[in-house]
Amino acid sequence: MHAVLKPDTRQPCDVVVLLSGTGGNLQAMIDSLQDGTSPVRIRAVISNRADAYGLERARSAGIETGVLDHQAYDGREAFDKALIELIDAFAPTLVVLAGFMRILTPGFVRHYHGRLLNIHPSLLPLYKGLHTHQRVLEAGDAEHGCSVHFVTEELDGGPLVVQAVVSVELHDTPETLARRVHAQEHLIYPLAIRWFAEGRLVLGEQGALLNGQPLGPRGQVIPAI
């Protein structure tokens, strides 16, 4: 007697990804969906740069793309208003920043409150902003890593969801350190997105909740490898 497979009746979680560059984290998201067990569905990839290689990755995966050149708009407010209109045309449940090199306006962040995620290459709240790998080495830190967080109006300051820690090695350069951090980004970002898509991750009034339980100030921490 053969078992009868029940169809997957979960509603897909539609995601729009914003990027400005090569799309390494986008590719990790795409790869994480290949086994068909995730409710995540990437509806579109949008960039402010027409030459961003991440757009090619999206097209190769059959994902719709869009380009919105920030230089064509008179200031951040106008650009973000147009960006909201483009994103909302895809009716996403979640918006994901994957190397989107724009500082978002408070109005944009409020519009997507509780459904906007970012990944940052440091163990937040340490080293907000740019050049994190160089700054870690200059400080002589023993550990480095990456953080997924909900986006708020504070730059790189929203509630943390998950962090991955890597050890800083004696002869590390910014480039070697970046490679190891990127490898961890490609693991924890798809994980956090899936948690959200499955309804396990939400932003509450006091911070991020996973499976109904408050996450600590650093989120869920994956130790150094």
User: Catalytic residue numbers?
Assistant: 120
Strand order in the sheet with 220-222: 64-67, 40-47, 13-19, 94-97, 116-120, 143-150, 160-167, 220-222
Given a contact cutoff of 8 angstroms between Cβ atoms, the answer to whether 81 and 48 are in contact is no
Alpha-carbon gap, residue 85 to 108, rounded angstroms:
11
Alpha-carbon gap, residue 88 to 107, rounded angstroms:
14
Alpha-carbon gap, residue 70 to 50, rounded angstroms:
11
Alpha-carbon gap, residue 40 to 86, rounded angstroms:
20
